[in-house]
Amino acid sequence: MSFENHFLENTIGVFNNYRNLAEKSFAQLQTDKEFHYQPDEESNSIAIIMNHMAGNMISRWTNFLTTDGEKPDRNRDGEFVEKNETREQLMEFWNKGWNVFMETLQSLNEEDLMKTVTIRGEGLTVTQALNRQTAHYAYHVGQIVFLAKHIRNKNWKSLSIPKNKSADHMQGSYKQNLK
């Protein structure tokens, strides 16, 4: 496998991991109201972050190689307004964004990686655009996980190694490797 194909395959895996972390966080929320919780006036709710990420994905990744990633019909500021959607409505838009994004990612090939695309009038290689989006989506998924953990508090089920359980995890991993 070429380095370029490995990079694309790895990038898809990284984004699938971020999506999985966010969706495991959503699964722990019990009410629509929890999606709209804001710690203070300046903070975003999980719903706002979901709308922003989906709006970004649809704008950036529709006709990715041929048009500016900031589409004229995108209302970015509107993504940051609380709309009180239901979980189902939020998930529908979230999935629409991810579908556009993943279809585009899966259509890319190694020759595309050094092509120049435009985002907000700035020329970037496809590789640079992918790295930029990796940082952007990781940032927002971290916010989603943090907020969901805050909301669920003691009822939160860890998405990785639970607090104060590192030794148990290492012991289990070591035993697993011995088999």
Domain boundaries, the chain: 3-178
Give the C-alpha separation, 107 to 10, whole Å: 14
Taking residues 136-164, report their average pLDDT. 94
Proportion of the chain above pLDDT 90, given as a percent? 88
Architecture category of domain 3-178 in CATH: Up-down Bundle (1.20)
| Structure-model confidence comparison of residues 145 and 160, the more confident one | 145
Taking residues 154-158, report their average pLDDT. 93
DSSP state of 124: E
**What pTM, to 2 d.p., does this model score?**
0.91
Report the pLDDT value the prediction gives residue 172, as an integer from 0 to 100: 53
- Write the single-letter amino acid at 144: I
Taking 50 as the threshold, does the pLDDT of residue 117 lie above it?
yes
Proportion of the chain above pLDDT 70, given as a percent? 94
The count of other CB atoms within 10 Å of the CB of residue 35 is 25
- How does pLDDT run across 163-172, given as a tens digit for each residue? 877 877 765 5
Report the pLDDT value the prediction gives residue 178, as an integer from 0 to 100: 43
For residue 88, with 0-12 CB atoms within 10 Å meaning exposed, 13-18 middle and 19 or more buried, which class applies? Answer: exposed
- How does pLDDT run across 3-39, given as a tens digit for each residue? 999 999 999 999 999 999 999 999 999 999 999 999 9
Q: Is 64:117 a contact under the CB 8 Å cutoff?
A: yes
Report the pLDDT value the prediction gives residue 170, as an integer from 0 to 100: 65
Taking 50 as the threshold, does the pLDDT of residue 177 lie above it?
no
pLDDT band (50, 70, 90) for residue 136:
very high
pLDDT band (50, 70, 90) for residue 55:
very high
Beta carbons within 8 Å of 160's beta carbon, 6+ residues apart: none
| Structure-model confidence comparison of residues 139 and 175, the more confident one | 139
- How does pLDDT run across 79-96, given as a tens digit for each residue? 999 999 999 999 999 999
Task: Kindly list the distances between the CA atom of residue 34 and the CA atoms of 43, 83, 122, 149, in Å, as whole numbers in the listed order.
Answer: 14, 13, 37, 11
Report the pLDDT value the prediction gives residue 161, as an integer from 0 to 100: 82
